[in-house]
Structure 1
């Protein structure tokens, strides 16, 4: 044995990130990252009290240097077994500009930075959203979002065309871009002996999810949950369980794809909602 500890990286120390760290962090050094010192300290304290080894890092995921520092820290800490990117902002509480910087650019920066430090057996998961399955783009637009160099992403026409006051439009586009960047990155990750996937949750019962439920689209969101038959929000534990599968040995042949975890909402919208074709 090399003596190097196994390392789990989690960006975003809110409900999803803490649930993921708790579920798959046992026996690993957890590198927990967030932009908010207060949120980060609270989550780290909770996990440490439960017996986890936690290293914290303040990270601005929209800043390339900050994300590279996180990847460097992870590589220096031990053997990178898994990295889970849950950091993001809400369409209810953020501007379109913030969403494009954090959710779109930030995820692309994370994928790039961790491509440099993954090793044989590493598994990376990026949290996207069910919303990414709802957008309709041309094949050229999708190709551009998938393969344009990260530094040029925000200059793409499809990105610049998002209205400044459309936080929902920015969110939907960003989450589709997350799925596409993962697809495009799979080749490089495969060549490094690693895997990368995305997971697209629907309505999850986290503080961010509650804010969305109480926002302008909340009534429609809850009506959709009822109409699709599931009748409830998902839990952070259910998301963490799916991430445990995606980062575990049972998913060794799974890469470059997205797991839709939405209780059947997207399926209902596509096949049963009024106007569905």
Structure 2
């Protein structure tokens, strides 16, 4: 986590209550030092890494000509640079059967409305990185995939937000996704049933991309 210490510690406590190991590590996902600290903290706290889920991501919407360089840098740093750095730091700890799962977006390679050019570009880059890495790590028995959420009810894109009505009109199932919908897709790709799936993007968008 970067700022939400209380929420991160609460999740870790829930996991420990289930009899599992968990540790919350503060780190800046977009910096080399932060990526290394996150991985080192996880290894120290739970004893190793078998599954890496790259979940950090931000959105900064607005026409490209109007976006500040600070917003553009933030999008690039968190959405793609952070994934590359964290994956690089974690790779020495992953062995046969390891999993790398990155959270992408329905907007990867698809721009249905103005104002998401840089965001879409970062997620498209993430998809390309995943494809290349799946080729490199396949011989080591490590799978590399992405999950591409559509409109999901989170702080970044709430179901009661100003754009919700417009988004709902394009979703076949007629509702926003819930965080558990995305978590279930990640759990599937992390499990034994997905051992022959790599270099793939799992679309979880309620039919918005149909």
TM-score range, shorter chain: 0.7 to 0.9
Q: Distance in 2 between matches of 1:97 and 1:206?
A: 23
User: How do 1:43-54 and structure 2 match up within 5 A?
Assistant: 43-49=11-17, 52-54=20-22
Q: Within the alignment, does 1:40 sit opposite 2:40 as a pair?
A: no
TM-score normalised by structure 2 residue count: 0.83
Question: What is the CA distance between 1:47 and its match in structure 2?
Answer: 4.0
Question: What is the CA distance between 1:223 and its match in structure 2?
Answer: 2.1
Structure 1 stretches lacking a partner, 5+ long: 1-33, 137-165, 268-277
Alignment counterpart, residue 97 of structure 1, candidates 63, 73, 94:
73
Paired position in structure 2 for 1:155: none
**Structure-2 change in CA distance of 1:50 and 1:206 (3 Å):** farther
User: How do 1:58-73 and structure 2 match up within 5 A?
Assistant: 58-73=26-41
Give the root-mean-square deviation of aligned CA atoms: 2.6
Paired position in structure 1 for 2:169: 223
Paired position in structure 2 for 1:185: 133
Paired position in structure 1 for 2:161: 214
Question: What is the CA distance between 1:231 and its match in structure 2?
Answer: 0.3
SS of match in other structure, 2:51: strand
Paired position in structure 2 for 1:239: 182
Larger deviation: 167-176 or 91-100? Answer: 91-100
Q: Distance in 2 between matches of 1:244 and 1:109?
A: 23
Q: Which structure's residues are more often helix, by fraction? A: 1
Q: Distance in 2 between matches of 1:87 and 1:202?
A: 16
Structure 2 stretches lacking a partner, 5+ long: 63-69
Q: Distance in 1 between matches of 2:90 and 2:111?
A: 27
The CA deviation string for residues 123-155 of structure 1, in whole angstroms up to 9 with x for no partner, is: 11000000104059xxxxxxxxxxxxxxxxxxx
Q: Distance in 1 between matches of 2:144 and 2:77?
A: 21
User: How do 1:58-207 and structure 2 match up within 5 A?
Assistant: 58-76=26-44, 77-92=46-61, 95-135=71-111, 168-207=116-155
SS of match in other structure, 2:24: strand
Q: Which structure's residues are more often strand, by fraction? A: 1
Q: Distance in 1 between matches of 2:102 and 2:111?
A: 18
Larger RCO (alpha carbons 8 Å, 6+ apart): 1
